[in-house]
Structure 1
Amino acid sequence: MGRSLIRLALQAIGAALIASSVLWALQGLGIVLWPADSFMLSKREWALYGAIASAIGGLFLMIAFRVRR
């Protein structure tokens, strides 16, 4: 039961990190302009931060899929 709980937690964290970081990247690139008062809009560094965070989320998912049941 312990490994399956760890696996589920890694999957949830990885998926949430990827979803939020894609929004960061799109806001940083000026593609998504929502919310209008966001400090990340059209700031290129947030596109970079989003890409890095997305890669970390992908690593979490890879680790989760390698954890044996």
Structure 2
Amino acid sequence: MKAQRVVLLVGGLVLVLVGVLWSLQGLGMVGGSVMSGVTLWAIVGPVVAVVGAYLMWRARR
């Protein structure tokens, strides 16, 4: 069970980081990408971050 917990924690952390990055790109705060300034990524990013936070929470239970 310990390996599953580590996978959930690492996977959750990656999803949170990617979600935050996508949100910032969607809001135009991070440039240099075709995703920059596209509202879709400002919506998808927080959803992905919440899923990642849930996985991390689930791993700690």
TM-score by length of 2: 0.95
Aligned length: 61
Match of 1:49 among 40, 44, 51: 44
Alignment RMSD, CA only? 0.6
Question: SS of 1:31's equivalent?
Answer: coil
Q: More helix by proportion, 1 or 2? A: 2
Gaps of 5+ in 1: none
Distance 2:12 2:21 in 1: 15
Q: Percent identity of the aligned residues?
A: 34
Q: Which runs of 4+ in 1 moved over 4 A?
A: none
Q: Say which one has the larger Rg.
A: 1
Gaps of 5+ in 2: none
